[in-house]
Amino acid sequence: MKIHPSAIVSPQAELGIDVEIGPYCTIESGVQIADRCRLVAHATIRSGTTLGCDSMVCEGAVLGGMPQHANLKAEPGRVIIGERNIFREHSTVHRSMHCDKVTRIGDDCFFMVGAHVAHDCQVDNRVILTNGTMLGGHVEVGERACLGGNVAVHQFCRIGRLAMVGGCTKVVQDVPPFVLTDGATALVVGLNSVGLRRAGLDRQQILNLKAAYRLIYRKGLNFRDTIAALEEQFPQGFASEFAEFFQGGQRGFVQERRRPPRVALRVHPSIDEIDDLDEASEAPTPRRLAG
């Protein structure tokens, strides 16, 4: 264990083996830091925080800060952070509002400079929050989702897994899994094909997702019929997650960016190349999925 002489570490903090605490770091009482974690400099880990092994906390980051809320409880909840996470400069994570609840972050996440996770958020594994991304309270972010720079997510919204949210997007409704949103319009513009490919989805899985996307945004079905059709046509696999996602949430769903009539669905060329369907013969009319 290496602790710089200028660091302030409470005797009531629990530190694992091979932990490194850099200059001017502050570790409060009740903190639990697992093995091989590294705090670079001027990092603060506040009471009620558990940090998983092999994580790195960079300059000015604050983990376990008090919730930013006008009606702050006398005894807030905890922050539980998984393994192998990286918190770059000045990123922040706040404790839950309630003593019996938790702000939770999974494993292998990357929080870039100035990223903020508010109270009661639930962030799954391998999530990336790019510089300046802000999650409001009670936000849920699915596995391997990626949020671009300066994205702002309204409280109680959900970001589906493997979704890509374009930079500067203002998210005020749920973003379905597997899709890509445009930062300029904050609307869905297709599948997150790069993310799907990197996640190892095979040809048939991607084609199923593409068919489900067409059903959701191009068939003109009402919300209830859309759910029923998804459950019937995609009872299992990745595409089956759309129906489950749409049956949850409190704020409705981000819509597709409107396209002129007779424009076929376009996704990344790497996906189009493996799709032997002749989209040119289609004549879909853009529709909205009722939220």
Query: Which of 42, 65, 107, 120 is labelled catalytic?
Result: 120
- 183: annotated active-site residue: no
Catalytic pick among 119, 142, 148, 149: 119
Active site annotation includes 119: yes
Alpha carbons within 13 angstroms on the beta-carbon side of residue 127 total: 30
The Cα–Cα gap between 28 and 33 comes to 11
Collect all residues with Cβ–Cβ distance below 8 Å to 120 and sequence separation of at least 6: 67, 77, 96, 97, 98, 101, 103, 137, 138
Told to judge if 94 belongs to the known catalytic residues of this protein, a careful annotator would answer: no
Using the structure block, give the residue that is written with the tokens 């960016």: 257
Q: Secondary structure of the chain: what % helix, strand, coil (to 5)? A: 15, 25, 60
Rounded to 5°, angle at Cα 194 from 188 and 200: 120
Q: What is the number of other CB atoms lying within 10 angstroms of the CB of residue 69? A: 14
Q: Which of 65, 114, 132, 137 is catalytic?
A: 137
Of 193, 190, 163, nearest to 176 by C-alpha is 163
Which of 22, 4, 17, 85 is closest to 49 using CA atoms?
A: 85
**Which residue numbers are catalytic?**
119-120, 137
